[in-house]
Amino acid sequence: MENAKEAVRQAYTKVVKGPEESSCCGPTCCSPSSDAIDAFNDSYEHVEGYVPEADYGLGCGLPTEIANIKAGDTVLDLGAGAGNDVFVARSIVGEKGQVFGVDFTPAMIEKANANKTKLGYTNVHFVQGDIESLPLPPNSVDVVVSNCVMNLVPDKEKAFAEVYKVLKPGGHFSISDVVLNADIPEKLRNAAELYAGCVSGAMVLEEYLSFIKGAGFSSVEVKKSKAIALPDKLLLLYLTVDELEEFKQNNGGVTSVTVYGKKG
């Protein structure tokens, strides 16, 4: 698990230090030499509160779109990056609300705080921390959002238990993430580069939802889904031609989903 976490930390540090080395959830799909794909990303350009400097194109949905955030709410963004969804949430909660962004990568926290300083927000807080052990008190958050991050967490059972813990009774989450249509070949699952790029850390949807329900959430529902086709050129870096064909025949593929769940 620590190796997986370090792979994520290194990959997303490179995103900040050199955007040309962005990950598979972003513009260059897992390696500088592979073809760019935009299939993961949903455009934020029409979203109120959008800050282009905070958007590295690392998401796979628009979790705030269906998060039912209200003015005055306390919102937590898991894997906040440079603050993209945090600033969108802040535009909804207003001056009386609070928005927290937790991220595992120091370079991302540094960039997020730089963006916050430019914007002059006093009710936005970025904290370095691990989603498997969230640095917030129990029952302190109205809404949790996250965008293409939970699949990167090695211990998803613990992560969703932490989300349940920090939410207030009656609180809820809206999480965009990557899931699989079929189990992924071992060669892909063990590829650290793909792990940091949102693919190898993903799991089959039914298993993913079972972790959420097992944490105690109710009203669990997939609100939005979008099929994503990974390019053969990328997959052939890890699979033989025959293995690729088998992967496709077994309905191998990736789907972006946005899932809603409620505490209590």
Query: Which among 105, 154, 151 is positioned nearest to 132, based on CA atoms?
Result: 154
Residue type, 161: A
For residues 100 and 174, give the distance between their C-alpha atoms in angstroms, rounded to a whole number: 15
- pLDDT, residue 21, reads 45
- pLDDT, residue 18, reads 72
Which residues in 223-254 are b (16+ Cβ under 10 Å) and which e? bbeeebebeeebbebbbeeebbeebeeeebbb
For residues 68 and 98, give the distance between their C-alpha atoms in angstroms, rounded to a whole number: 15
Q: Which residue has the tokens 């998401």?
A: 59
CATH topology classification for 2-260: Rossmann fold (3.40.50)
For residues 172 and 264, give the distance between their C-alpha atoms in angstroms, rounded to a whole number: 9
- pLDDT, residue 234, reads 83
Which positions of the chain have pLDDT values less than 50?
Answer: 19-24, 26-38
Q: How far does the chain reach from its first CA to its final CA, in angstroms?
A: 31
**pLDDT tens-digit series, residues 125-152:** 999 999 999 999 999 999 999 999 998 8
- pLDDT, residue 34, reads 38
Query: Which among 22, 13, 16 is positioned nearest to 40, based on CA atoms?
Result: 22
- pLDDT, residue 2, reads 62
pTM, full prediction: 0.87
- pLDDT, residue 1, reads 61
